[in-house]
Amino acid sequence: KAGVTQTPRYLIKTRGQQVTLSCSPISGHRSVSWYQQTPGQGLQFLFEYFSETQRNKGNFPGRFSGRQFSNSRSEMNVSTLELGDSALYLCASSQQTVRGDEQFFGPGTRLTVL
Amino acid sequence: AQSVAQPEDQVNVAEGNPLTVKCTYSVSGNPYLFWYVQYPNRGLQFLLKYITGDNLVKGSYGFEAEFNKSQTSFHLKKPSALVSDSALYFCAVRDMSGNTPLVFGKGTRLSVIA
């Protein structure tokens, strides 16, 4: 089975721009979660989707949004980029037939905001 | 609210010696507990999890972890460290009872010295 894929792998944007990141989960996985990883803060939870419904949302401003499509692929969008948005954005998928299912992570998208 | 604490930012151990990476958690109900490892420039890889049953959980690459409910801990251990174990380790928790996301600790960097 192919793993979780994320595109693009690297992005450079300037302040004020917006960006869309994409995630394709492992085939058959219906749950997708997004995390922001920075050196000082570790992994911060952004969103969790299951069958196109947002099940949980982390403590991030409204500039951060996401969605999940019927094929379980997911996108997240960040509008009006700030310097502090520079981070590694990780997507993870799981079957979520039970809540104890482990998540499988993609390689991440490295976003740099100048 | 659920949370995870990894009290050590860095753990250094000599090759061949036993290693321990500490994790304590806080949830309102019973926990699902996970350990993940991150190698440089890669996403997170699942190591092991505790759902229920035996308190000693065995995982990938010879790692194991012990669930201690009274101390709310889930320390990661390995009897004999390898240089290739050097990486960033994350503990994560999810409350069994609620509709809550997976929450990660800030990570512990393990360095195994030859």
Tell me, what's the pLDDT at A98? 63
In this predicted model, what pLDDT tens digit does every residue of B14-68 receive, in sequence order? 999 999 999 999 998 889 999 999 998 778 999 999 998 889 999 999 999 999 9
CB-based burial of residue A103 (10 Å sphere; 0-12 exposed, 13-18 middle, 19+ buried)? buried
The answer to whether the CB of B1 falls within 8 A of the CB of B29 is no
pLDDT at B53: 84
Across the interface, whether the CB atoms of A43 and B90 are under 8 A apart is answered yes
Q: Is A45 on the interface with B (CB under 8 A)?
A: yes
Of A42, A102, A107, the CB nearest to B46: A102
Nearest-CA residue of chain A relative to B5? A42
More confident residue, A47 or B99: A47
| Residues in B touching A100 (Cβ below 8 Å) | 32, 49, 51, 94, 96
Length of chain A: 114
* Mode of pairing for the β-strands spanning B3-5 and B103-104: unpaired
Best residue in B41, B49, B88, B102 for a mutation probing chain A (most A CBs within 10 Å): B102
Check CB contact of A49 with chain B, cutoff 8 Å.
no
Q: How many residue pairs from chains A and B have C-beta atoms closer than 8 A?
A: 50
Instruction: Provide the pLDDT for residue B98.
Output: 63
pLDDT, one tens digit per residue, over B75-94 is 999 999 999 999 999 999 99
Residues of B in contact with A25 (CB under 8 A): none
Write down the pLDDT at residue A97.
61
Mean pLDDT by runs of 10 across the 114 residues of chain A is 92 97 96 92 91 92 96 96 96 81 93 97
